[in-house]
Amino acid sequence: MSDIHDKVMYSTIITPFQRRVYLALLDIPAGETITYGALARRIGCRSAQAVGQALKRNPFAPEVPCHRVVAADGTLGGYNGRRDGEQLERKRKLLEEEKGNHR
């Protein structure tokens, strides 16, 4: 098991729901993306918005790669609670770097 998996698994600063979201997200390979809704379904949750809120509070980013989660229409969605500006540009760059490194 990876160090980040253990950090998430045994963290006392996150909720059980956040733990489920973050652990599921660790299974998304670098260079790939998943939608908020698909991640929600993966953990048995019916709310993409709840997943988005958990990701907004991700204390382990970018080790827990919330930048790999995109909107249902394929757009970037948000990052660190922002839907535009510097944070969204950071998400775009992280994804581009991962895709470039995994070709």
Residues 6+ apart with CB under 8 A from 4: 26, 60, 63, 64
Q: Which residues pair with 35 in a beta bridge?
A: 70
Q: How many whole angstroms separate alpha carbon 47 and alpha carbon 41?
A: 8
Q: Could you say which of 34, 40, 66, 69 is catalytic?
A: 66
Residue 45 is among the residues annotated as catalytic for this protein? no
Tokens 């948000």: give the residue: 78
Active site residues: 66
